[in-house]
Amino acid sequence: MDNLGFIVAGYSLTWATLLWYSWRTNRRLGVAAHALSEWTESSDGLTDGYEADAPPA
């Protein structure tokens, strides 16, 4: 396969970018859900059913 370095770099970059963005979004989602859950626990009468597990590392 000619130009192997460019091809491997291109596919690796694509995979790494999409996986990174997905991971980052899910992590932010976990942080936001946890913050909202903490907020509802500390504010009586504001519960609206959000559930969150432990905060992401």
Partner 1 sequence: MIVTSKSGLANVIGIAALALFLVGSFVGLFVVPADGMQGDIQRLMYVHVPAAWLAFLSFFVVFLMSVLYLIQRDLRWDRVAQSSAEIGVVFTVLTLALGSMWGKPTWGVWWTWDPRLTTTAIMLAIYVGYLAIRSFADDPDKRARWAAIVGIIGFANVPIVYLSVIWWRTLHQPPSSPRSVSPEILWTLMFNLAAFSVIYVYLMMRRIRLAKLEGELEQRMAYHG
Residues that bind partner 1 (CB under 8 A): 1-4, 6-7, 9-11, 13-15, 17-18, 21-22, 25-26, 28-30, 32-33, 35-36, 39, 43, 46, 50-53
Smallest gap from Cβ 8 to partner 1, in A, equals: 9
Smallest gap from Cβ 2 to partner 1, in A, equals: 5
Smallest gap from Cβ 11 to partner 1, in A, equals: 6
3-state percent breakdown (helix, strand, coil) of the chain, nearest 5: 70, 0, 30
In this structure, the number of other CB atoms found within 10 A of the CB of residue 34 comes to: 16
In 3D space, the residue among 32, 38, 35, 37 whose CA is nearest the CA of residue 50 turns out to be: 37
